Amino acid sequence: MKPLQGLAGLLLMGLLATPAGTVAQAGSTESARFNAWLDARFAEDLERSPMAKTRRGVIDDDYDEWDDLSPGFQEETYRIGQRQVDEMREQFDYRKLNRQAKLSWKLFEYDKARDKAGFPFREHVYTFNQMRGVQSQIPAFLINQHRIGERAHAEAYIDRLQGVDQYLGQALENARRRFVQDIRPPRFVYDHVLRDARNVIRGAPFDPESDENSPLLQDFLDKLDGIELDSAYRASLERRATQALRQHVLPAYQALIDEMTWQRERADERDGAWKLPDGDRFYAYRLAQSTTTGLSPDQVHDLGLRETARIHEEMRAIMAEVGFAGTLAEFFEFMRTDERFYYPDTPEGRERYLAEARAIIDDMRGRLDALFLRKPQADLVVKAVEPFRERSVGKAFYQRPAADGSRPGTYYANLYNMRDMPTYQMRALAYHEGIPGHHMQIAIAQELAGLPDFRRFGGHTAYVEGWGLYSEWVPAELGLYEDPYENFGRLAMELWRAGRLVVDTGLHAKRWTREQAIDWLLDNTPNPRGDVVKAIERYIVMPGQATAYKVGMLKIQALREEAAQALGPRFDVRDYHDVVLANGSVPLDILEELVDAYVARVSEPQ
């Protein structure tokens, strides 16, 4: 751990000497004025995104609208953000701010600098892809975010259906423009996009002979069941929604399918970011953004190789513990194929998986006092990924709760193929996505009193995902991985993230092919082929993102070890976790400064 240096260290001294559930906010007129200004800027930014407002649980007069995806709007948003930094420096005196306000200043500058670094690469995104493509975002947003609690909300839902052609049309224009600029995904991505698009317009009312409703029509009807409506008005709503689906959603998705089919025929098999205009510089930016460090692709790659070797050794110890005679590769094959580690690929098998994941999370909830001073107030639910997108998205992910408590946090498990969800990984996965992982960190951040909204709702991938991976490791201290196979599962999950460092940099900096990356993961992890293929395809369309997990975890672990060594008997893991969670998401270098300040404070003579 670096010693406290200069003004930054002095400013952060004593920052965290506050009881759990509060944030140090020693009163000052300038700080109060600054926090109000930050919240006003956050509100102005939020006002530019009807969809972000809906995700936050805000129902306003634009509840019937989609976001503006045009290049002009994107550039205007960027210019507004950069002007905000100038305005901040003109209107406020940094020296008069209290400690938390100074940290907010530093984080606000950091975020806007990150926006500036990424602005030259604003087009370097595949508009349509299997992970975050607009084709699946539209139904996922309406189904999971758009609540219907009264008539006006149902009317707004229909208006949004009527607006799909414009919203999806803007996305199509972006994709066409990028295609001409040689920013086009490899051919396999188009297959996922086309399948997703066809799934959205499958069933009634698109297919009059279908016995099943389409996902959007069924969602609308189910939500109408939750409010009181007279029969005539309900029939009118159903008729208008059906008309909107046929007249606006169907032609928009047909246009998408036509364009993606045309582009697919002209796409190639090159996978890495290196193929994009100024691709090497783009990937360096993506690594910096994801890890919040200055690590080079070679440094990240080598770190992954070292961590892979270390974890392999720990796995060999488990092989000896369970009496397995053979090589590590043979043990991997055993873990991939032995039926004891997989639930049936049936509705009953899926429900058993979900029930046991809920039980793991509930058990962890009851143990939090041993490790944490603060806990989230928001509830957490566990769901299976919806059928319309289960073949495309990853094996698990988390959706944050609405800030007003109207929607719980959600851990989504992808149970499309039960062979991709071995039971020996179930515990670590539930800890990562649920408690004490993403739900705990994200919900606590939203609930922090006294912090400006941009800190409560912001995120830095290395911190957020580093905490998620660290949260797989922490329960081992409570002895919760009792079965050696479950402990192997924890190591397998960590190995998976170490392997990401290797294959992500391999794909995007060392020009590996998709097949090379798949083979490397198959050779070095126990994950089944379907899991591996889906993962590599994810890394291809999201350059650098997957490197954040292991880099963040290693930093959180290292800072904890250094704090424990420095403080000796005065170290309390609950205090350390509070340091990590008490300030919302921060870049890793700022997290180090916060931990340094905590160590200095506790080290002071009593």
Q: Kindly report the backbone phi and psi dihedral angles of residue 380, in degrees, each rounded to the nearest multiple of 5, phi listed first.
A: -130, 135
Query: Can you give the pLDDT at residue 410?
Result: 95
Query: Can you give the pLDDT at residue 482?
Result: 85
CB 410 within 8 A of CB 398: yes
Query: Can you give the pLDDT at residue 558?
Result: 97
Query: Can you give the pLDDT at residue 137?
Result: 96
- For residues 121 and 404, give the distance between their C-alpha atoms in angstroms, rounded to a whole number: 35
Query: Can you give the pLDDT at residue 440?
Result: 95
Query: Can you give the pLDDT at residue 22?
Result: 39
CB 453 within 8 A of CB 43: yes
- Structure-derived torsion over alpha carbons of residues 319, 320, 326, 329, reported in degrees to the nearest 10: 30
CB 579 within 8 A of CB 598: yes
Q: Kindly report the backbone phi and psi dihedral angles of residue 144, in degrees, each rounded to the nearest multiple of 5, phi listed first.
A: -95, -20
Residue pLDDT, tens place only, 69-95: 999 999 999 999 999 999 999 999 999
Distant-in-sequence, close-in-space partners of 517: CB < 8 Å, separation ≥ 6: 271, 503, 506, 507, 536, 539
User: What would you report as the CA-atom Rg of the chain, rounded to the nearest whole angstrom?
Assistant: 25
Residue pLDDT, tens place only, 484-527: 999 999 999 999 999 999 999 999 999 999 999 999 999 999 98
Query: How many CB atoms sit inside 10 A of residue 118's CB?
Result: 16
Question: What is the mean pLDDT of each successive set of 10 residues along the chain, which is 606 residues long?
Answer: 31 33 54 96 96 92 98 98 97 95 97 97 96 94 95 98 98 98 97 96 94 96 96 98 98 98 97 97 97 96 98 97 96 94 96 97 95 95 90 85 89 93 95 96 94 93 96 93 94 96 98 97 92 94 96 98 97 97 95 96 86
CB 418 within 8 A of CB 349: yes
Q: Which of 126-160 are b and which e, b meaning 16 or more Cβ less than 10 Å from the residue's Cβ?
A: bbbbbbbbbbbbbbbbbbbbbbbeeeebbebbbeb
The alpha carbon dihedral of 479, 485, 488, 493 has a sign of: negative
